[in-house]
Structure 1
Amino acid sequence: MVRSATKKDKLLQTVIQHINTGWPADKQITDPSLNTFCCWRESLSIIKDYIMFCDRIVVPAVYRGRILKQVHRGHPGMDRMKSKAEGPWKRIHLDYAGPIEEMYYLVIVDSFTKWPEIFQSASSTAPLTIGLLRETFARFGKPDALVTDNGSQFCSGILKQFCEKSVIIHISTAPYHSQSNGQAERFVDTLNRSLRKITDVENIPSSEALQTFLQVYRSTLSNVLEGKSPAEVMFGRPMTITLDLLRPTGINQAQSTSTLLSPSATTLTAGAMVYAKVHKNAKT
């Protein structure tokens, strides 16, 4: 139904044309609705006649009200409504980076929280990939869906059997449209640049550089996550990092303020003499 409606939607067909052939200059787009898609063009792709925004289907206008009504059933409120439509560790994206200094890196990124799991290995075979997925699922639980490109390790029969046995939907991006797995694709690029920079500047082994990168990335605030870090969205709390040691521990603001006051100052009476600092403009 969505595919059929997409084919009948003139705006979405124009968007598909621009995705395939290129977007005009921003100033040449006069339609506000089309301009909205143009602003997000780097996150748009096409899979099986669907327009994808990152890893989500763009719903044609004719069905948007119906889907919102379905999500709103029972009037759950905005926050609960969002939690029904999305959530941590529901859809994960996989890709391999490397070889970097003869090592491969399996990159796993959660679509909702942007939380990354990365494993360093000497190869990138399907059996090894499944073993690392088992380790990851033992830690976080299994996702609903797993998105990969068409790499040989991801298209193998044993990975298909693994997903079927685990009741996980395996989504393979269309050939020549690897950007459909944009979550992992972008992260691989970030990982490549960061590892080389960390190893060069700090002169440490790649395995240690990887852990440094993960700690920084997981604890860094992101505009995509509304000013929160991947760790905070994933677990509901920020990660403790070395810089946190610069903050006082075990004393809140009210307690630290009260310790600055003398016992007599806490029992002031009307008319008592006190010192006060008055801030005035220099000209007055």
Structure 2
Amino acid sequence: MSYFDPNKETMLIVDASPVGLAGLLTQNGKIIAYASRSLTDVETRYSQTEKEALAIVWAIEHFHLYLYGQSFTLVSDHQPLETIFNSPKAKTPARIERWRLRLQGYNFKVQYKPGKVNAADYLSRHPTPNTSIACKHSQLAEEYVRYLTDNAVPKAMTLNEIADSTQKDKDLQTVITALKSNRWDKYESNTLDTFSRLRYELTVVPVNDMEIILHDNRIVIPKDLQMRVIDLAHEGHQGIVRTKQLLREKVYFPGIDKLVEQTCKSCIPCLASTPKNVFEPLQMSEIPNNVWENLSMDFCGPFPNGYYVMVIIDEYSRYPVIETLTSLTAKSVIPLLDKTFSIFGIPKELKTDNGPPFNSGEFRNFADNMGFKHRKITPLWPRANAESERFMRTIGKAIRAAQTEHRSWKQEIHTFLRNYRATPHSTTNVSPAELLFGRKINTKNAEHFNK
């Protein structure tokens, strides 16, 4: 057997006998994988054409991970299938037509070869008994993928870890020696040239029995931790600009911008979930005078299992609050607003669209009792509520990215919010959390507070 190579020509050989189905995945005549199964009692009563067609459907779906998105040749010893599957206009029985529709996502051509040269013939006549083994294999594969994705989450970084790694980094140890002796002319390297130009902004700080380097109040990260630092900042799948902003608040290393750009541009969940909509620029709204005075609110969804996301944005600090709910009635929305106002206080104005919960007498009474002004935007012009609309695109991307990575989107929202609230906003140049609370909040990246 050989390893699968997506760049090589792929061939799937299938066969059906009176007792079973078989499939053989090959590349350049070498076997990649093979499988077989017994026919059920009902399937044994299919016509031979239906059995052979079933072998095609079963084998392709069985080897889905190899074949999806790949052009391949399917070899069968049943000549009618060549016409049935290669001709879109072929008239077929309802059962085979349903199977053809199931396979529309695959790119393949059926090729006829006589049974005497069909390598899958023996397997179909000696199939694996129908047990729950296939189901267990599928379940194990899913559990393994889930295990990998769960363990792919980068862990928070500590100062001790950075200090330990700094101790093992030859370049940074040379920088520490040069800083202490103030003798830079003894050393020559591109890395040291960079640090030499920054020498008056660098400080060596003790951490337990080890040392780290600070560039102003930012930690200098050794090479073996640089990718992990970027992964931590990119949790929640913020874009290139916001990932850079979050990193610049806390850490430094030469080439940080280039590495962030490479990482974000190669992030598959980001590529799969970033919308391409581009609008003409509008006139910027006036920023309120204080935090939590003017709020924007909207809903995003529905998402899996019928959930919606309620988004509230403070227009001064750009601080977002998110709640999940399954109904958009005033009865469902009001308790969540009441909960939010009990934590952050009652605003002066709440701006929303003209959706169902906001047109009810119940919501008007709630606004009157709380004492805030409820302002509804121009109908059919969602960009009038720009702050919440823009944030909904951002949160929608984070949720789609979580689904792409097979993670719990409800859990990943918290990861996204933690980084979003700690990242300086492009309008204010200060993080939303710092504007609202008057202090910076901690993230999973290590931080040194006192220089």
User: Normalised by the size of structure 2, how large is the TM-score?
Assistant: 0.37
Percent of residue pairs identical = 30
Partner of 2:315: 111
Partner of 1:213: 416
Whole-angstrom CA distance in 1 between matches of 2:343 and 2:438: 16
Residue 95 (structure 1) aligned with residue 298 (structure 2): yes
Residue 139 (structure 1) aligned with residue 343 (structure 2): yes
Q: Would you say the 8 A contact 1:43–1:182 is kept in 2?
A: no
Partner of 1:242: 444
Q: For 2:434, which of 232, 237, 242 is the aligned residue?
A: 232
Whole-angstrom CA distance in 2 between matches of 1:132 and 1:43: 31
Whole-angstrom CA distance in 2 between matches of 1:224 and 1:43: 14
- Tell me the SS of whatever aligns to 2:317: coil
The change in CA–CA distance for 1:248 and 1:140 in structure 2 (over 3 A counts) is closer
Q: For 1:155, which of 342, 359, 362 is the aligned residue?
A: 359
Number of aligned residue pairs: 172
Q: Would you say the 8 A contact 2:300–2:311 is kept in 1?
A: yes
Q: CA deviation at 1:175?
A: 1.1
Whole-angstrom CA distance in 2 between matches of 1:94 and 1:185: 9
- 1:49-82 per-residue CA deviation (whole Å, 9 max, x = no partner) reads xxxx43x4xxxxxxxxxxxxxxxxxxxxxxxxx9
Whole-angstrom CA distance in 1 between matches of 2:360 and 2:439: 38
Whole-angstrom CA distance in 2 between matches of 1:176 and 1:158: 23
Which residues in structure 2 correspond to 1:1-284 (within 5 Å)? 42-44=281-283, 53-54=284-285, 56=286, 86-101=289-304, 102-201=306-405, 203-226=406-429, 228-244=430-446, 247-248=447-448, 252-253=450-451
Q: Would you say the 8 A contact 1:91–1:111 is kept in 2?
A: yes
Q: CA deviation at 1:124?
A: 1.5
Whole-angstrom CA distance in 1 between matches of 2:351 and 2:325: 20
Q: CA deviation at 1:234?
A: 0.7
Q: CA deviation at 1:225?
A: 1.2
Larger radius of gyration: 2
Q: CA deviation at 1:128?
A: 1.1
- Tell me the SS of whatever aligns to 1:123: coil
Q: Would you say the 8 A contact 1:199–1:209 is kept in 2?
A: no
Whole-angstrom CA distance in 2 between matches of 1:110 and 1:147: 10
For structure 2, list consecutive stretches of 5 or more residues without a partner in the other structure.
1-278
- Tell me the SS of whatever aligns to 2:407: coil
Whole-angstrom CA distance in 2 between matches of 1:179 and 1:217: 21
Q: CA deviation at 1:216?
A: 1.2
Whole-angstrom CA distance in 2 between matches of 1:171 and 1:41: 25
Q: Which amino acid aligns with 1:42?
A: P
- Tell me the SS of whatever aligns to 1:213: helix
Q: CA deviation at 1:43?
A: 3.3
Whole-angstrom CA distance in 1 between matches of 2:448 and 2:353: 47
Q: Which has the higher strand share?
A: 2
Whole-angstrom CA distance in 2 between matches of 1:199 and 1:240: 26
Q: Would you say the 8 A contact 2:399–2:412 is kept in 1?
A: yes
Q: Would you say the 8 A contact 2:297–2:352 is kept in 1?
A: yes
Q: Which amino acid aligns with 2:410?
A: S
For structure 1, list consecutive stretches of 5 or more residues without a partner in the other structure.
1-39, 45-52, 57-81, 254-284
Q: CA deviation at 1:248?
A: 4.8
Q: CA RMSD in A?
A: 1.9
Q: Which amino acid aligns with 1:183?
A: E
